Structure 1
Amino acid sequence: MAGCSYPFDISSFILQLTVVTALLGGFSKTAFIIGPGKLSPLRPGLFISLVLLALTAYFIPERANHYEALKTWRNAERLYNFRSYDASVIEHEITFPILSGNGLFLQMYGKALSMDEQHQRSLDILFLAGKLYNSHILQNTLGDNHKALGNFKAAETAYIKSSYMMPSMLLPRYLLAKLYHESGQNEKARQTAEDLLKSPVKVESSATREIISEMEKLITTLNQK
């Protein structure tokens, strides 16, 4: 049905359509509807205009709130990039009631909570995000939260999922190797680090060089034990 299509989700479109329909309504023929005891004349164009006007009155405030929520989310991302994680969390919390159905928003909210060391709250938000959206970032953040809470098996599962989702990325296996080392699983740590160092680096950067350097140091440390 046309009334359920995408353009009707845009309030400005509805407003324009209402005005045009109202203007055209003046040129339409009069129809009759059955009223209580008599026939009442009503122009079809005018009737449609009234319906669309009611829809406009409903959608304009809703879209305005959505637009403001997107602006707040954008500010939350800016604060996150400045490493003001606590302030970013506050901005995400303000926006949550309106954007709670947006999986990407929930993922970034969960990430901000994790960086602010609110790990259990982050897990709760990422659980909601996972129903709508999934990515290696979400899985890495799940792993970070579980690791911080001492849930090493759950952290391992999340990091492995992330590595399967992005096989060419070094970060998931780097996080996995560190998890194994910090939880005393030294043989797994060594094997994971060695596998990482054998992987081709598609895009070299300061981050990949740092990861490789840390894995080389990890293997050296483990070989001395």
Structure 2
Amino acid sequence: EDYHGLHDKLKHKPEFLFEEAQCLSKTGQHAEAIRVLERAKRLSGDPMIRYMIAKNRQMLGDYREAEEELLQAIGILPERLYPYYLLAKLYAEPEFYQVDKLRAAASVVLAKKPKVESTAIREMREEVKKIIDKGDFD
């Protein structure tokens, strides 16, 4: 509600739009979050915006569009692990399951050396290992 009132005043600030979209996403308003994020994407090259669009598209079952956003984000900053992690989770979706792409994304998450080791990196790797362990790769 508060974001809605501020939107017209701050719609030129990608940081505000990102925060607004996060609130929309958390309340299940994924299509509206995407609309706000698309505006933010026109104002900023920050790949986090694309990650957020992809996550919202995935929630709506728009898997190909989610994949495209993540691949474009990788094109912007290929050294980041996070988009590969999001791709692995996307490819593990039962409705979009793609074993070869899942393996490729997971191998990047597990093998790529991050700039800085962190709890977030360890947690992403653990989750990807669990996805791989429960997968059927015969």
Give the alignment's TM-score, normalised by structure 1: 0.56
In 2: Cα distance, 1:193 partner to 1:172 partner: 11
Q: Secondary structure at the match of 1:131?
A: helix
Matching residue of 2:58: 147
Q: After TM superposition, what 4+ stretches of structure 1 lie above 4 angstroms from structure 2?
A: none
1:91 alignment partner AA:
D
Matching residue of 2:68: 157
Matching residue of 1:220: 133
Residue 196 in 1 paired to residue 109 in 2? yes
Bigger Rg, structure 1 or 2: 1
How many residues align structurally? 136
Deviation at 1:223, TM superposition (A): 5.1
**Residues 162-201 of structure 1 deviation map (CA, whole Å, 9 limit, x = unaligned):** 2222322211110001101112112211121012212002
In 2: Cα distance, 1:127 partner to 1:99 partner: 15
Residue 174 in 1 paired to residue 88 in 2? no
1:221 alignment partner AA:
K
In 1: Cα distance, 2:22 partner to 2:33 partner: 7
Deviation at 1:160, TM superposition (A): 1.4
Deviation at 1:151, TM superposition (A): 0.8
* Cα pair distance change 1:164/1:190, threshold 3 Å: same
Deviation at 1:224, TM superposition (A): 5.6
Moved more, 209-218 or 161-170: 161-170
In 1: Cα distance, 2:137 partner to 2:34 partner: 37
Q: Residues 21 and 36 of structure 2 are in contact (CA less than 8 Å); yes or no, is this contact kept in structure 1?
A: yes
2:53 alignment partner AA:
L
Q: Residues 190 and 222 of structure 1 are in contact (CA less than 8 Å); yes or no, is this contact kept in structure 2?
A: no
Q: Over the residues paired in the alignment, what is the CA RMSD in angstroms?
A: 1.6
Residue 126 in 1 paired to residue 43 in 2? no
Give the alignment's TM-score, normalised by structure 2: 0.88
Mapping 1:48-127, distance limit 5 Å: 90-127=1-38
Where structure 1 has 5 or more consecutive residues not aligned to the other structure, the ranges are 1-89
Percent identity between matched residues is 30
**Residues 17-64 of structure 1 deviation map (CA, whole Å, 9 limit, x = unaligned):** xxxxxxxxxxxxxxxxxxxxxxxxxxxxxxxxxxxxxxxxxxxxxxxx
Where structure 2 has 5 or more consecutive residues not aligned to the other structure, the ranges are none
**Residues 69-94 of structure 1 deviation map (CA, whole Å, 9 limit, x = unaligned):** xxxxxxxxxxxxxxxxxxxxx22112
Matching residue of 2:120: 207
**Residues 99-125 of structure 1 deviation map (CA, whole Å, 9 limit, x = unaligned):** 122222112212221222210111111
Higher relative contact order (CA 8 A, sep 6+): 2
**Residues 141-173 of structure 1 deviation map (CA, whole Å, 9 limit, x = unaligned):** 110111111111100011112222232221111
Q: Secondary structure at the match of 1:101?
A: coil
